[in-house]
Each structure stands twice: as C-alpha cells, then as structure tokens.
Amino acid sequence: MVAMNIVITGGSGFVGSYLCEKLINNGHKIIVIDNLLTGSTENINDLMSNENFSFIEHDVQDHIEIENKVDYVLHFASAASPKAYTEHPVNTLKAGSVGTINTLGLAKKHQAEYLLASTSEVYGDPLVSPQTEEYWGNVNPNGERSMYDEAKRFAEAAVATYSRSYDLKTKIVRIFNTYGPRMQLNDGRVVTNFIVQALRNENITIYGDGSQTRSFSYVEDTVAGIISLMNSSEYDVFNIGNPNEMTVGQLAETIIELTDSTSEIKYLELPNDDPKQRKPDITKAKTKLNWEPKVNLEDGLTKTIKWVESQLSK
C-alpha cells in the first residue's frame, strides 16, 4: 500500500492504539483525534515523538477540520464497554451518530476512504447463531444499551447513505469481543474483570448462571483483520472476531487455571439486555480478505494476564 495520511478517531484507546502502531510501521502518517474519554495517552506514548504521528485532543461530536490532505479516515471513537457507555450515555450516542456524520464529512471533503468500527452489538440479542453479516439483528431500540447499539446501527446507515449519495469508498467492520493488553482494568469487561479477580484471589463474579456464551478475539488478530479489510478492494461489511465460542463459566475456569488462583465463582443477577449468545460467522472475511484469527485463547490470555500483573504491581 502507498504511504497515506490517515486519521484515526479513538486512536488512543485499546484497539485504536494497536492500529496506530501497525499503520505507522507500514509507513503511513497518522493523525489521532481523541477526547481521552476512555483512552489514555499512555497507550500511544511510544508514538508521540514519531514525526509521522500527531495527536489532536478533540471530541468527534464537534466539527472536524484537517488542513493537510487526508487519504483515509477510520472512525473508532466511542465508549465501548457497557460500564463506559452507561457512564457516558449522551457522549456515546453522539460519538456514534454526530461523530459518524462529522467524520464522514471529513472523508467527503478530502474524497478519502472511510472505515467504520461497528460492533457485534448491532445484532443485539441474536435469534440466530452464528451471526452472518446478512443477519439484521434483534435490538431493543430504547433499552439500556441502546445509546451504543442504536448509535452504531445509525452509524452503519450513515456510512451506507454517504457512500450511495456521494460515491464515497466506505467499509464497515463489525468487531466482536476483543481482549488483550491495554484494556482498561476497571471498565467491567469480562476478561479483565476475571483476570484481576483471579490474580487477587477474590471471588470471580459471573452475571447470570454463566451459561451465556461469548467468543473472544485476541487484539492482534482483530487488528490484523481490520488492516486486511483496509488493504482489500472490498467496500462492504465484515465480521471480525473469533468463532471459538465458550460459556462465560468456562472462561472463568480457564482463567483460574492459568493464574493458579484460589478464587471461587460467585453468581450475580444478569443485567437487562445482556445477550445470551455471541458467535461470529467469519466465512466472508476468510474467503474475501484471506484473514482468520491465529492466536488461541490460552496464549492470548497468558499475554493478557502478564500485562494485567504488571499494571497491578505499578
């Protein structure tokens, strides 16, 4: 790929910071736009002194203007965990809606390509499993997660509409549960929750009876999938995730084993609109992007546990 000027919103977050690293290593220039709501400059510390990297502290719900030529816009800015979007409901709603329109406007002005970070949450509590890109979802439009789910569904509609109306080249990635170093430790996501509790030998808290299923993708696999999509000539929607499905109970047991912990499992009441099942069908990404996840759960968890340990000992 020729060197490009790439804008990444949400680039100081968990997934965005890995994307910045990869794309800079591939010779591109990166401009991050981030309001640091849930991200941290710590994630991009190593990039700050790089002449091909710049950081703009800015909220995507406000108009975005970049003077230099922009070739590619990746819109990743949004609170992403149920805890974070419940704490910042209006910002989340606006990052997905107004923020998507603003970033599409930026792409339109520069005739840049555009990639939206969507989510498996657009499938809601799915009635079919695994979920293919053709499934339209089962979402509560005004439920407790709707500021996130419905904003992302609006974002997809906005991308499709700008693409049809202004001939913009756009792509959508529906990211499924991703984990790895740099996740925030206190944002309630299940992998880090369990690891922190296991390392402290505290009770591992499971919401519900632990039979709900999830499939977890290691961050390097997810980012490799996103970059495969960027590099492809596919202007379409793709699921990126790991189809290796397991129950939340099994995840807790695996983490207890890998951390050699004495933690016990404690069951709590299931929150509203918590999906019972999540598993991507990644046939489309496999066949059209020639991508599939490579990191097995034990290896990914071991790397994540090591990183969490280093954070806890700070």
Ligand X SMILES: NC(=O)c1ccc[n+]([C@@H]2O[C@H](COP(=O)([O-])OP(=O)(O)OC[C@H]3O[C@@H](n4cnc5c(N)ncnc54)[C@H](O)[C@@H]3O)[C@@H](O)[C@H]2O)c1
**From the CB of residue 248, how many other CB atoms can be counted at a distance below 10 Å?**
20
Residue 60 in the binding site for ligand X (CB under 6 A): yes
Could you say which of 1, 3, 36, 157 contacts ligand X (CB under 6 A)?
36
Residue 100 in the binding site for ligand X (CB under 6 A): no
Query: Cα dihedral angle (290, 191, 86, 281), rounded to 10 degrees?
Result: 30
Region binding ligand X by CB under 6 A among candidate stretches 37-45, 129-137, 207-215, 288-296: 37-45
Could you say which of 21, 28, 59, 220 contacts ligand X (CB under 6 A)?
59
From residue 34, alpha-carbon distances to 7, 57, 206 in Å are 11, 5, 32
In the numeric block, the tokens 């996130």 are attached to 148
Residue 177 in the binding site for ligand X (CB under 6 A): yes
List Cβ neighbours of 95 (8 Å cut-off, separation of 6 or more): 60, 61, 77, 78, 79, 151
Residue 248 in the binding site for ligand X (CB under 6 A): no
Could you say which of 29, 82, 93, 99 contacts ligand X (CB under 6 A)?
99
Please tell me the distance from the alpha carbon of residue 170 to that of residue 229, in angstroms, as a whole number.
11
Residue 78 in the binding site for ligand X (CB under 6 A): yes
The two structure tokens encoding residue 194: 């369990």
114 flagged as catalytic: no
Residue 97 in the binding site for ligand X (CB under 6 A): no
Residue 39 in the binding site for ligand X (CB under 6 A): yes
From residue 83, alpha-carbon distances to 12, 79, 107, 226, 271 in Å are 19, 9, 31, 25, 11
Residue 117 in the binding site for ligand X (CB under 6 A): yes
CB 236 within 8 A of CB 132: no
Could you say which of 4, 6, 8, 16 contacts ligand X (CB under 6 A)?
16
> Which phi and psi angles does 210 have, rounded to 5°?
85, 5
16/225 with CB nearer ligand X:
16
Length, in residues, of the chain: 314
Please tell me the distance from the alpha carbon of residue 227 to that of residue 185, in angstroms, as a whole number.
26
Residue 77 in the binding site for ligand X (CB under 6 A): yes
Residue 280 in the binding site for ligand X (CB under 6 A): no
Residue 34 in the binding site for ligand X (CB under 6 A): yes
Residue 14 in the binding site for ligand X (CB under 6 A): yes
Region binding ligand X by CB under 6 A among candidate stretches 20-28, 34-42, 134-142, 246-254: 34-42
Could you say which of 37, 70, 224, 285 contacts ligand X (CB under 6 A)?
37
177/228 with CB nearer ligand X:
177
Could you say which of 158, 175, 190, 248 contacts ligand X (CB under 6 A)?
175
Please tell me the distance from the alpha carbon of residue 298 to that of residue 222, in angstroms, as a whole number.
16
Could you say which of 4, 7, 8, 13 contacts ligand X (CB under 6 A)?
13
Please tell me which residue in 72, 123, 148, 179 is annotated as part of the active site.
148
Helix%, strand%, coil% for the chain, nearest 5: 40, 20, 40
Binding residues (CB under 6 A) for ligand X: these are 9-10, 12-16, 34-39, 59-61, 76-80, 84, 91, 95, 99, 117, 119, 175, 177-178
Active-site annotation, residues: 148
